[in-house]
Structure 1
Amino acid sequence: MNILLLHNPTAGDDRPSERELVELLRDARHDVSRVATDDPQLAHRMVEKVDLLLIAGGDGTVATVLEKVEGGSAPIGILPLGTANNLARTFGIEGDIEELIEGLADGELAPVDFGIADGPWGRTRFFESAGFGALAEGLGPVNAARVPSAEKIPSGRRALRETFGRMEPALLQVTIDGERQDERLLMLELARVDTLGPRLCLAPGATPGDGTIHVVTLAPEAREDMLRWLEDPDGQAEAPVRVRRARQVEVAWVDTASHLDDNFFERPEQPCRMKASIELAAVRILRPARRTGGSKR
């Protein structure tokens, strides 16, 4: 295949370098060109005629690239080099990088929807979640601190336990497929994938190709249940949240922190509104074939 490698050189610790990735791809008999994800020419390079746009990085890198994808682009591949890798994991892309590269040639394509958010920031896409309350309040400082990759998940989980323990609920006006409700909530997340933030499974079964927004809420009366769940979020118990599915969601808020994927916004002093919807089958994701016999190298 003719592949354009879009590489974030800062993603993950002790991961393959751009040079090593190019070598692995060429060893797998692919033609490779490359561009850094912080290159000013990134969007221009992404419209080149190639067989695959291959993103090497974590959730933030994947979202940055997908935001720039034009309709009718080449399929998208992912080499997960981040910490949580929520997006890649939801697509079923995880495991050894070399084995993922070996599986590209025999991979299968799957349609993926985009979340669309119209709000104070304008019109933009989101890929993991758009949210209000605890996740935005707790994870914003962790994201800004740029902690080492190995510490991101435990640091994020500690920050959320502290945030859920102290924060007051927000009064949010939530309209789900035309039905309006005023809700007092500790958390509202409009999820596109099943695991959010520091690898927390808050929307079981959510996939980017299911055509819906998973509306995840936590009411004040579930605060203690959430704090207990966060002691072992990787265990068998499901998160004590309510999940509803929708095609369109509108949210009105004030004085509440919010986020779009890894972009965090402070509490606004004036009332704000956002409308979230779905752009169906916006791109195609390539899922590498799984190798059963281990690495060929």
Structure 2
Amino acid sequence: MKQVILLHNPNAGDEDHFKSDLIQAIENEGYRCTYFSIKKDEHWKEQLARADLAVVAGGDGTVRKVVKELVQRGPLNKRITLALLPMGTANNLSKALLLDKEANFDSHIRAWKCSKRQRFDVGMLEYDSISNFFIESVGYGLFPTLIQKMDMADIGPLETTEEQLQLAQEELYQIILTAEAHRYTIHADSKSYEENYLLLEVMNIPSIGPNLMLAPASQIDDGYLDVVMITEKERDAFALHIKKIIDQEKTSFDFQTLRAKKINIQSANKNIHIDDRNVSIANDLLTITVQEHILNFLK
């Protein structure tokens, strides 16, 4: 009988009821299950190595907390397979794994026995003598501003994740209209670029933020990262693209994209985001590489 460690990020008021439902559904499929509320209890880190499967019930931020622990342990430790029960707002990582976020958790759990393991690359960062990682994206410009705006937004009156995503899209549209473009020098493998960009994103998965598809050709296990660039000259066209998404109209945008294994970025703009968190760096140099097949997910 396989041992499952269930790592749950509960919303206010739902923990006890949802905890018992999740455990029951997992045990009904023949697994042993140990539960941890990832908000309240750090002891899950000590139990990871004993599990055959780590189940993350939450959003992209919750997944990052678990991945951080696995990345810090290094490649010589036991490689634990992750399974996701998508319960966040955007769930971009689940989308990259082609998981149906509309399916109930019982359906996801029943599918584990016939699911395949999907290898997953992780992006690595060096800045200010600090090493860090990302599983979704790292970037400059529009999205650090959007994250800051959404952190301050009152989402209490919003009843659904769709309403929250639309609010983020509307905020992004307003940011695009007035955002300052910055100068960047980019060295991506053997190629170099220098331009004023509104948006500069290094993507490990296809979508970002409010389910915005920036790098549709991005592969999660190919050993490459996708660098997406939007110039100041493309401001109006990109704003129109986002407006059509908000209005649910058919639209497309020809993103300038390059693929690379190692990227160096220099800029006077020192505000970046790493996945869903903003970071201010002291130096003007960011070095980004990719480590192949660090993680295994059930898909």
The question of a shared fold, defined as TM-score above 0.5 by the shorter chain, is answered with yes
User: Partner of 2:113: helix, strand, or coil?
Assistant: coil
Whole-Å separation in 2 of the counterparts to 1:111 and 1:246:
19
Equivalent residue, structure 2, for 1:277: 289
**Structure 2 CA distance, aligned partners of 1:198 and 1:11?**
23
Q: What is the aligned partner in structure 1 of residue 48 from structure 2?
A: 46
**Residue type matched to 1:124 in 2?**
N
The size of the alignment, in residue pairs, is: 283
More helix, by proportion:
2
| Farther off after superposition, 153-162 or 2-11 | 2-11
Q: Provide the rounded CA distance (Å) in 1 between the counterparts of 2:115 and 2:67.
A: 20
- Helix, strand or coil for the counterpart of 2:216? coil
| Residues 145 and 120 (structure 1), Cα distance of their counterparts in 2 relative to 1, 3 Å cut | farther
Unpaired runs of 5+ residues, structure 1, are 288-297
Change (3 A) 1:21 1:146: farther
The offset of 1:240, in angstroms, is: 3.6
Q: Secondary structure of 1:160's partner?
A: helix
Structure 2 matches for 1:239-258, cutoff 5 A?
239-258=253-272
Matched, 1:125 2:127: no
Q: Does 1:103 align with 2:111?
A: yes
Aligned-pair CA distance for 1:138: 2.1
- Correspondent of 2:276 among 244, 256, 262: 262
Query: Which of 208, 212, 216 is equivalent to 2:228?
Result: 216
How big is the shift at 1:146?
A: 6.7
1:182 corresponds to: 194
Structure-1 separation of matches of 2:18 and 2:166: 25
- CA separation in 1, counterparts of 2:235 and 2:142? 11
1:191-210 CA distance string (max 9 Å, x none): 01111101001111213212
Contact 2:269 2:284 in 1 (8 A): no
5+ residue gaps, structure 2, are none
CA distance in 1, matches of 2:201, 2:154: 23
**TM-score when normalising by structure 1:** 0.88
| CA offsets 1:63-89 (integer angstroms, 9 cap, x no match) | 111111133322111110101100011
Q: CA deviation at 1:274?
A: 1.0
How large is the RMSD of aligned CA atoms in angstroms? Answer: 2.2
Q: How far is the alpha carbon of 1:13 from its aligned partner?
A: 8.8
Structure 2 residue 9 is matched with structure 1 residue 27:
no
CA distance in 2, matches of 1:142, 1:240: 26
Which residue in 2 is equivalent to 1:60? 61
Mapping for residues 133-148 of structure 1, pairs under 5 Å? 133-145=141-153, 147-148=155-156
Deviates more, 1:30-39 or 1:217-226: 30-39
- Partner-residue secondary structure (3-state), 1:243: strand
> Could you say what secondary structure the match of 2:61 adopts?
helix
Q: Which residue of 1 aligns with 2:173?
A: 161
In the alignment, is the contact (CA less than 8 A) between 1:133 and 1:256 conserved in 2? no
* SS of structure 2 residue aligned to 1:186: strand
Which residue, 88, 92, 96 being the options, matches 1:86?
A: 92
Letter in 2 for 1:90: A
Cα distance, 1:222 vs structure 2: 0.9
1:265 Cα offset (Å): 2.5
- How far apart, CA to CA, are the structure 1 residues paired with 2:241 and 2:62? 29
CA contact (8 A) 1:172 1:253 kept: yes
1:198 aligns with 2:210: yes
Q: In 1, Cα distance between the equivalents of 2:186 and 2:12?
A: 35
Corresponding letter in the other structure for 1:8:
N
* Matches of 1:7 and 1:238, distance apart in 2: 36
Instruction: Tell me the secondary structure at the aligned position of residue 238 of structure 1.
Output: coil
TM-score normalized by the length of structure 2: 0.88
